[in-house]
Structure 1
């Protein structure tokens, strides 16, 4: 299947996924985050979406946004997808805290 989505759509997918993560983790501490499987799984799914979209943005966009750690974003997605039983909960939580406006 050919992928005809452009950078604007990919960035929108990333933004929507980040907003979902922030919604799912608002008013929640680390203990609740890791204990509530549905919430935790929903966040991991959004990380997958972010990583997949990031892997498909154009090289031109990546060059123009060198401050964005595209490789690390995609790498996190790969960990979530391929090492799902080895995901470091605290690492995921710390990343969420970095993107959280609070």
Structure 2
């Protein structure tokens, strides 16, 4: 099996991050906490982000190193998948509000640089 282009992982991150932003549009923390479907969708997209960045780290470590907090993002993905019972809705909401926008901006900048 041939190796995926590292840009494909960045594209996956960008698409998933933009989807999270669409899913949360018009919601506040309380509305999100009451919306089980939105929670499931957002968590799934965070899982994709973490997996894509984990794969990027294996494929192109130098490029992956240019993404701030990569290890924490992958750890968050692992917690969502393996520690799902301990994931708090408020934590996911806070990550989406504070950590996602800079990650998306960084991903877009790297993709533009690579193109």
Q: Give TM-score, length-normalised by structure 1.
A: 0.88
User: Separation in 2 of the partners of 1:84 and 1:3?
Assistant: 32
1:62 is displaced (CA, Å) by 2.2
Counterpart mapping for 1:42-81 below 5 A: 42-57=41-56, 58-63=60-65, 65=66, 68-81=68-81
Secondary structure at the residue paired with 2:78? helix
Relative to its length, the structure with more helix (as a share) is 2
Please list every run of at least 4 consecutive aligned residues from structure 1 whose deviation after the TM superposition is greater than 2 angstroms: none
Match of 2:24 in 1: 25
* Uncovered stretches (5+) of structure 1, i.e. residues with no partner: none
* Uncovered stretches (5+) of structure 2, i.e. residues with no partner: 103-115
How big is the alpha-carbon RMSD for the aligned residues of Structure 1 and Structure 2?
1.6
